Structure 1
């Protein structure tokens, strides 16, 4: 029986045997959905531990080599992400480690990290609060000395259609004309009671849950200011979805919707203006999606910073 010292030497490694009839370089080889904890600071100084799904890849530039060393990628991901806070420097070092461990095989490396970050949000009027989970996607790549880092998130909000609101107001006017004679004095109490009845709101504009998907490129040295980014976008939209809701909060939300009528084009421009003012961002891409209640298809708009060589706006 072999002793423990010789066991590793005796294990077969078929990956070292080339297959000339299948020779060819490969764009990317690696692993997807590696399960690992990550440590993330969203910009408030509080490091949260989250369960992440990670993709780790290198290219296979040698046509004569059968495969890469996947275990090396896995062990580096596990060691780096579970013990160090996520930063641009830590991701750059991780990718450099991928390439250093594949010197004879690869000259490009990339990593993607997906998880959710919890943020406590106050209610609109009441003294309550609740948690919102914002998805985070971080993608980084290294080609030679060229390091590229992007991150993204989503903001969910309510959008009330301006056209539907105008049509509803017209129907309410028609109902008022039907219920109150133009030749008789209008009684204040009667009108007040009418406004509080179903006849005073015979039509309501359609609204829908909507999603703004953001992809961001940071300037050099900038951190992941996720909470500041979310705050900017939610403030620009005015109607982010809520957590804890009492009646006074629901009424405040209805008021906010009435004062923030928007088409998808309006929402995209609001966000674009807000992000243009953020000096931490070198480029961005926005996709807003209004999941219509009027019909089964969605209304969608795209916007970007418009940096030369940056994000395009092709759907």
Structure 2
């Protein structure tokens, strides 16, 4: 009978075996869709635990090396992301650890993190509130050209077409001219009652659910504040989708739509103006998508901060 105590079992490592007939440096090697919990403060001081999908990569500069140590990347992701809240410093430390674990093989590291965060939003008029889920994406990289971090999210809102509103007003005017002859004395109560009928409001402008997809690059030293960015965008648009809705909230939303008529170009410029004054942002990229109710194709506009070499270049 043989004892296996205090013995080391040698296991084959074919990844370390060179393939002279197949060499070359690789831009990125790693794993994607790693499932891991993360802890994130959206900006209200409350750290939420949520499930994330993570991508972990390094380049492979040694052309004669067959592969990297993927298990090292996985264990580092688990150790760093599962035990502390996401922060700029924590992400840079993780990328440093990627490179340290692949010293001699890699000089660049990349990390992507995707998850949803819940934010409680108050109703427009009533005392109610409800939850909104916002997608978050984080892209971070570290290499000879330095550390770079980008944060992505999106805001969903309603957009009422200005052209459609003008055409609807024209039809209402024409209906008024038919129902109230020129030269006749107008009775205030009769006109007020007419305005409350379907015949009085004979046409309504079309509106559609719309999405503003945001990608921002933070300045050095800035920290995450997702809520601040979302609040700036939603306040600039004026018609963010709602959660808990009673009749008074729906009426207030209808009023907000009437006061915020916008083409996709208008929406993109509103967001551009709102983000331009945010000193935490070195650059930003905005894609506005109005998912039209008039026709099956979408109206789309792009905007950026316009910095040299930035997103808009």
Aligned twin of 2:253: 253
For the Cα contact (< 8 Å) 1:264–1:290, is it kept in 2?
yes
Aligned twin of 2:164: 164
Q: How does 1:1-315 map to 2 (within 5 A)?
A: 3=4, 5-6=6-7, 9-144=9-144, 146-312=146-312
- Encode CA deviations 1:82-136: one digit per residue, 9 max, x unaligned: 1011111111110010011111211110000011111100000000000001111
- Encode CA deviations 1:127-158: one digit per residue, 9 max, x unaligned: 00000011111110001360001101100000
For the Cα contact (< 8 Å) 1:120–1:131, is it kept in 2?
yes
Quote the RMSD (CA, aligned, Å). Answer: 1.2
State the SS of the aligned residue for 1:176: helix
2:14 & 2:246 partners in 1: Cα distance?
64
For the Cα contact (< 8 Å) 1:43–1:223, is it kept in 2?
no
For the Cα contact (< 8 Å) 1:161–1:263, is it kept in 2?
yes
Q: How many residues align?
A: 312
- Name the one with the larger helix percent: 1
TM-score (norm 1): 0.96
1:123 & 1:106 partners in 2: Cα distance?
51
For the Cα contact (< 8 Å) 2:272–2:303, is it kept in 1?
yes
For the Cα contact (< 8 Å) 2:152–2:213, is it kept in 1?
yes
Q: Would the alpha carbon gap of residues 4 and 101 (structure 1) be closer, same or farther in structure 2, given more than 3 Å must change?
A: farther
Gaps of 5+ in 2: none
Q: Would the alpha carbon gap of residues 5 and 99 (structure 1) be closer, same or farther in structure 2, given more than 3 Å must change?
A: farther
1:265 & 1:4 partners in 2: Cα distance?
72
State the SS of the aligned residue for 2:110: strand
2:125 & 2:280 partners in 1: Cα distance?
32
Q: Which runs of 4+ in 1 moved over 2 A?
A: 1-7
1:303 & 1:30 partners in 2: Cα distance?
32
Q: How much has 1:281 moved relative to structure 2? A: 0.8
- Encode CA deviations 1:242-296: one digit per residue, 9 max, x unaligned: 0000000000000000000000010011011111111111111111100111111
For the Cα contact (< 8 Å) 1:109–1:142, is it kept in 2?
yes
For the Cα contact (< 8 Å) 1:136–1:152, is it kept in 2?
yes
1:3 & 1:246 partners in 2: Cα distance?
72
2:186 & 2:96 partners in 1: Cα distance?
78
Q: Would the alpha carbon gap of residues 133 and 26 (structure 1) be closer, same or farther in structure 2, given more than 3 Å must change?
A: same
State the SS of the aligned residue for 1:117: strand
Q: How much has 1:3 moved relative to structure 2? A: 2.4
- Answer with 256-265 or 214-223: which moved more: 214-223
